[in-house]
Structure 1
Amino acid sequence: MKRKHDKIALGGGCHWCTEAVFQSLKGVSKVLQGYVASKGEDHNFSEAVIVHFYPEEISLHTLVEIHLYTHKSTEAHTMRKKYRSAIYFYTQQQHIEVLDILQKLQIDFKKPLVTKAYPFVAFKPSREAITNYYYTNPQRPFCQNFITPKLLLLLKHFSKNVHPQKRELLPPIPHKNSP
């Protein structure tokens, strides 16, 4: 019997960071890094990933929650055109579900979420040379300075969702008394 498979596109920060976070999760079968476009004033491409997942292993709610916590989802900074804080839905049902999830999760944040739900329109993949960026060389300075802290946050708050094979590749969570 074939398992049910779904996908959602997510944007928020650098697609290298977003890619590494979602590649680390149980229930995620594939993460495509690149640029996503929507409609209207948000028709321009913005850095994002497409996450292919198995809903019986990881819910859309959990994916959205992780997304909100692993990027600056309450900050309307000047780079939001390049790094749109977004959840790109593929179906009307997914749109309804995403809006409900965002409304429910808002209470967990002190400031209003800037993350919006947009219809998915188009995708341009990144050059192959920069995909799987973190897991091909986690020692790169960019990985150490920007991606590793997000992965440590993932381990600290969502450890039950981290894939065991990826957990082995991640640095240990520092203890409060560590230098």
Structure 2
Amino acid sequence: MEQATFGGGCFWCTEAVFQNLRGVTKVVSGYMGGHTENPTYKEICNGNTGHAEIIQIEYNEQEISFEDLLLVFFKTHDPTTLNRQGNDAGTQYRSVVFYETQEQKTAAEGMIDRLEKEMVFNRPIVTEISPISKFYSAEDYHQNYYNNNPDQGYCAYVIQPKLAKFTKEFGGKLK
């Protein structure tokens, strides 16, 4: 199994998307990229810890490539807004790829170049590409959030439309 770590705004949204991809065996919501040891969700939300809300993905590269994961990542959030996704604002919601190997770094840089050359977005991509750092798993109630709370307001009004768009574009890659 391989691992990928992405921050694309609220981890509830990104977790819900990646859980549905064929080849993805595990998705854990958490925090990375900050300076506070053992941060809590409450601390992350104040924006002072430096962490981003992220997901760590375990995947089988025989079924899905890192490049495919990157394409899903970039196309299921807005990588052109600095420290913001929709109404969620702050560095904790930044767009970021935390790479584990030089190959992952090169692939992320290549994907950004490709998407910009193809003019997929109307503005430049501002996604941060950083080396992986200490991972902190989010509290239990954040794990599998959408599946456990589909009728919660945020899930109904933010995540469900995102999943519908994802399904339309990536239907061939679903479990």
Q: TM-score, normalised by structure 2?
A: 0.83
In percent, how many aligned pairs have the same letter? Answer: 33
Aligned counterparts, 1:41-52, within 5 A: 44-52=50-58
CA displacement 1:122-141 (0-9 Å, x = unmatched): 11111112210011121211
| TM-fit CA distance, 1:44 | 2.2
SS of the equivalent of 1:88 reads strand
User: Does the Cα contact within 8 Å between 1:36 and 1:122 map onto a contact in 2?
Assistant: yes
Confirm whether residue 146 of structure 1 aligns to residue 158 of structure 2: yes
| Most deviating of 105-114 and 143-152 | 105-114
CA displacement 1:17-76 (0-9 Å, x = unmatched): 11111111110010010111169xxx8211010011111211111111111111121112
SS of the equivalent of 2:62 reads coil
| TM-fit CA distance, 1:80 | 4.3
User: Does the Cα contact within 8 Å between 1:38 and 1:118 map onto a contact in 2?
Assistant: no
- Which residue does 1:95 correspond to in 2? 105
- Which residue does 1:174 correspond to in 2? none
- Which residue does 2:129 correspond to in 1? 117
| TM-fit CA distance, 1:97 | 1.8
| Number of matched pairs | 156
Confirm whether residue 73 of structure 1 aligns to residue 79 of structure 2: yes
Gapped regions of structure 1 (runs ≥ 5): 164-179
CA displacement 1:71-116 (0-9 Å, x = unmatched): 1211125524111101110112221122112211222222111112
User: Does the Cα contact within 8 Å between 2:83 and 2:94 map onto a contact in 1?
Assistant: no
Alignment partners' CA distance in 2, 1:38 and 1:68: 22
- Which residue does 1:130 correspond to in 2? 142
User: Does the Cα contact within 8 Å between 1:38 and 1:119 map onto a contact in 2?
Assistant: no
User: Does the Cα contact within 8 Å between 1:38 and 1:120 map onto a contact in 2?
Assistant: no
Larger radius of gyration: 1
Alignment partners' CA distance in 1, 2:122 and 2:8: 18
Alignment partners' CA distance in 1, 2:124 and 2:143: 32
SS of the equivalent of 1:25 reads coil
Alignment partners' CA distance in 2, 1:154 and 1:6: 23
Amino acid in the other structure paired with 2:60: Y
Gapped regions of structure 2 (runs ≥ 5): 36-48
* Residue 34 to residue 77, structure 1, CA distance change in 2 (3 Å): closer
